[in-house]
Amino acid sequence: MTLGTKADMRRLNKPGQAARSILLLCAECVRDKEYSKRLVSVADNVAEAEAEYAKKGEATSLFTIVSAGTIAGCVTIKDMEKLYTGTFSRKNSPVRYIYDEIKLAPRNSICPLCAQRVVSTLDHYLPKSRHPAFAVTPLNLIPSCTDCNKAKLDLQPANASELRIPVKAASRTDVMAATVPL
Ligand SMILES: [Zn+2]
């Protein structure tokens, strides 16, 4: 058995929670009833988007997912950014444990992207400013260090070879599939 190899550290397990249940749990925490209702109304769309993400991730064609200004014309980018910052990732929020679970996935809290620095945040592989449907989708959330997260910013990968993250791994799917050499 080998321990602590680079590839080993980069490996991530599949997220335990589905995007739909995270969205619904977040919606329960929101005080504004109208906002909460709108979030619940797009649960199916978020679940469908997650299924598409999983499929395209396997085919390494995430870059073909078209950006959108809203989810089903009902929930905006701002709505989802607010949900991510104000509810999902907010310290002391009732759903923060889900964020922490995803963040704590890498072994020894080592950033799976650079395999060097310590994880400090979650990076949206497809930016939430362009893909509101993936703002709280675990498959789209890569635990990363501050440097790797900053290096990528809000850029959308334009094609498979033009990935703006300073690493070999193209997405969480790639990170999850990283093989461990024996
Ligand atoms: Zn890193």
The Å distance, Cα 177 to ligand 1 centre, comes to 18
The Å distance, Cα 152 to ligand 1 centre, comes to 11
The Å distance, Cα 30 to ligand 1 centre, comes to 32
The Å distance, Cα 163 to ligand 1 centre, comes to 15
pLDDT given at position 173 = 63
- Measured between alpha carbons, how far is 140 from 94 in angstroms, rounded to an integer? 21
DSSP E strand boundaries for 13-108: 70-71, 75-76
The Å distance, Cα 120 to ligand 1 centre, comes to 9
pTM for the whole thing?
0.82
The Å distance, Cα 7 to ligand 1 centre, comes to 14
DSSP state of 152: H
Q: Assign 149 to helix, strand or coil.
A: helix
- Measured between alpha carbons, how far is 119 from 55 in angstroms, rounded to an integer? 27
- Measured between alpha carbons, how far is 153 from 64 in angstroms, rounded to an integer? 19
pLDDT given at position 171 = 63
**HSE-up of residue 177 (Cα within 13 Å, Cβ side):** 13
The Å distance, Cα 36 to ligand 1 centre, comes to 34
The Å distance, Cα 109 to ligand 1 centre, comes to 11
pLDDT given at position 10 = 59
pLDDT given at position 32 = 97
The Å distance, Cα 121 to ligand 1 centre, comes to 10
The Å distance, Cα 39 to ligand 1 centre, comes to 32
pLDDT given at position 15 = 72
Other C-beta atoms lying within 10 Å of the C-beta of residue 146: 14
pLDDT tens track, the chain, 182 positions: 344 444 544 567 667 789 999 999 999 999 999 999 999 999 999 999 999 999 988 887 888 899 999 999 999 999 999 999 999 999 999 999 999 999 988 888 988 888 889 999 999 988 999 999 999 999 999 899 998 888 765 555 554 443 433 334 456 666 665 443 32
Do residues 21 and 95 touch, judged by C-beta distance below 8 A? no
